[in-house]
Amino acid sequence: MKFKEVCSAEDIVALTEELGFLPFFANSIRGFSIEERCPSELWFVEGRDGPWEWKGPAAKSGRCVYGKFFQGKAGFVSREWFPILANYRRDGYDFDARYDDGLASRKDKAIVDALSEHGPLLSKELKKLCNYRKGGNKGFDTVIARLSMQTYVVVADFVYMQDKAGRPYGWGVAEYALAETLLGRDFVTSAYDTKPTDSREKIFAHLQKALPQATEAQLRRLLG
């Protein structure tokens, strides 16, 4: 099977819209990742943008959402499918209700409260506000992955540091946001009138059709 290549940020967005879901890294489903579909010569080439640099523009396009949605690993979900995924993954809970029922930790709440109060924050800013420093809290990446899998926290952009001449350098720093802040509460919760299990089966049926090479077990694991 010949897979459509990914050679730009627009290609990422278009393929995400076509498939609904697009992991960044290779996984058990052959061909279902940006990593496998992007030619090797476009990875980490000096003076030329590649998949690592395209993530930010794709995330900012407004047509898809970026986060750790696939077994705790990063990828994109189309705008069309995000509310359906949120309904399934949240299982009927807004974050406050989840916390009140004892289903979220204090670390989870600290991250959500910081993003709610301050808006989108770079990872280093969020770590500072939530005391992820030497002698402080540990497990920042684990908390972010959990909140992302539950669709509460997403990546709004990747911001590059600049040298004295104003030139960007290094790896892009993730800027985190609450999904409701980035997309609007009414939109994110627009599938809440559907049973979470029905949303899960709707996603499963869609992916079965979009990914005929995948087994049922692979798709079930991917959905979580």
Q: What is the pLDDT of residue 160?
A: 78
CA angle 161, 134, 98 (to 5 degrees): 85
Q: What is the pLDDT of residue 43?
A: 84
Return the closest-CA partner of residue 88 out of 189, 156, 177.
Answer: 189
Per-block mean pLDDT, blocks of 10 residues, the chain (224 long) = 85 97 95 94 79 93 97 96 98 96 97 96 96 93 98 94 65 92 97 97 96 94 86
Residue 62 structure tokens: 């407004």
By three-state DSSP, how is residue 154 classified?
A: strand
Give the global pTM: 0.93
Residue 72 structure tokens: 């705790």
Q: What is the pLDDT of residue 164?
A: 67
